[in-house]
Amino acid sequence: MLSSRLVKEQPSTARSGLCSSRHCCVVPAHEVWVCSAKSDLGSARESTDRVLQAGRLPASKTMGQSFNSAGIALFAQIAWGNAPLALPHLSVPSIDSLDWGALARAGFRGCVFDKDNTLTAPYASAVAPALAPALERCRVAFEGRLVLFSNSAGLAQFDPEGSEAEALEAALGIPVLRHAEKKPAGSAVEAEAHFGCPAERLVMVGDRYLTDVVFGNRNGLLSVRVAPIQLAGEPTAVSLARRVEDYCVARWWRQGHKAKPHPLAPSEEALATFVCEPAVR
Ligand SMILES: [Mg+2]
């Protein structure tokens, strides 16, 4: 059944007129819940932690960095009754469509970035040129409080000495978070220690629902999903996972599921202020 309905693009219900390119989509304000529920977050964390523990396989570098057993187990659990956990607060074409100043004025204190297909092409070690100005605006708005959260560099399982993280920091000029678990597993304790503020004051930006969005939502960050920079060059496993994620998310949106609202953006209007036309400030 899945294979007959795989989608390559965002659901039409998530599109807006902000951009006409293939991957451009902005979740309109009416598709976002108003959130109150820190208690909901706690119960979601407890529930998903159990699933993550059950789905975790022994760590081994030979498993390959693109295999995320805990993430797959969690996504299955989400599919069976916790769809909002995989739905971002905002979905935009790229970081160029975010008003970083508005996010800072709303009380956010820093940004956690995924790397591949969010800031760089897959496995590239340079920020995509078209995104460099937006990244600089983010850096200014948050007074340098940015960090990369990779599922390879900085991850204890794959990069125990931190050498990959150091190389990436030198190449991109952004600190790389040292952390113990792959997204979407784990807590935000490392990010909170890095920024010195609660996770609710942070923005999580990434291109994957399964990893970036779920991690952000599980831990109380504002989750922002960007369209991937390019699909070419991704491992087959990632490509397949992305297609399943796109299919599921499109279906959940059609069914009326919505992201659980964020306490610093408790209304549709508040979320809408974080989105801007690319190249228009
Ligand atoms: Mg990515």
CA of 95 to the centre of ligand 1 (A): 13
Residue 59 contacts residue 235 (beta carbons within 8 Å): no
CA of 20 to the centre of ligand 1 (A): 22
Cis peptide before 133 (omega within 30 of 0): no
CA of 273 to the centre of ligand 1 (A): 25
pLDDT at 14: 34
Digit-coded pLDDT (tens) for 125-150: 999 999 999 999 999 999 999 999 99
Residue 204 contacts residue 221 (beta carbons within 8 Å): yes
**Residue 269 and residue 272: Cα distance in Å, rounded?**
5
Backbone angles phi, psi at 257, to 5 degrees: -70, 150
Could you identify the residue written with the tokens 């469509």? 97
CA of 34 to the centre of ligand 1 (A): 27
pLDDT band at 72 (very low <50, low <70, confident <90, very high): confident
Q: 186: alpha, beta or left, given left = phi > 0 and alpha = psi -120 to 50? A: left
What CATH code is assigned to 29-56+68-272?
3.40.50.1000
CA of 118 to the centre of ligand 1 (A): 6
Q: What is the mean pLDDT of residues 2-20?
A: 33
What is the overall mean pLDDT for the chain?
Answer: 80
Query: Per-domain residue ranges for the chain?
Result: 29-56+68-272
**Residue 97 and residue 12: Cα distance in Å, rounded?**
18
CA of 280 to the centre of ligand 1 (A): 26
CA of 115 to the centre of ligand 1 (A): 6
CA of 207 to the centre of ligand 1 (A): 5
CA of 116 to the centre of ligand 1 (A): 4
CA of 212 to the centre of ligand 1 (A): 8
CA of 208 to the centre of ligand 1 (A): 6
Strand intervals (E) in 72-218: 90-92, 110-113, 146-148, 202-206
Q: Is 216 exposed, middle or buried (0-12, 13-18, 19+ CB in 10 A)?
A: buried
CA of 238 to the centre of ligand 1 (A): 9
Strand intervals (E) in 165-271: 202-206, 222-226
Digit-coded pLDDT (tens) for 184-210: 989 999 999 999 999 999 999 999 999
User: Which among 236, 201, 263, 213 has a CA at the least distance from the CA of 88?
Assistant: 213
CA of 194 to the centre of ligand 1 (A): 21
Query: Residues of the chain with pLDDT > 90: what percent?
Result: 60
CA of 120 to the centre of ligand 1 (A): 9
Q: Is 74 exposed, middle or buried (0-12, 13-18, 19+ CB in 10 A)?
A: buried
What pTM, to 2 d.p., does this model score? 0.78
Residue 128 contacts residue 229 (beta carbons within 8 Å): yes
CA of 200 to the centre of ligand 1 (A): 21
Could you identify the residue written with the tokens 């922002």? 224
Judge whether residue 162 has pLDDT over 60: yes
CA of 232 to the centre of ligand 1 (A): 13
CA of 209 to the centre of ligand 1 (A): 9
CA of 79 to the centre of ligand 1 (A): 21
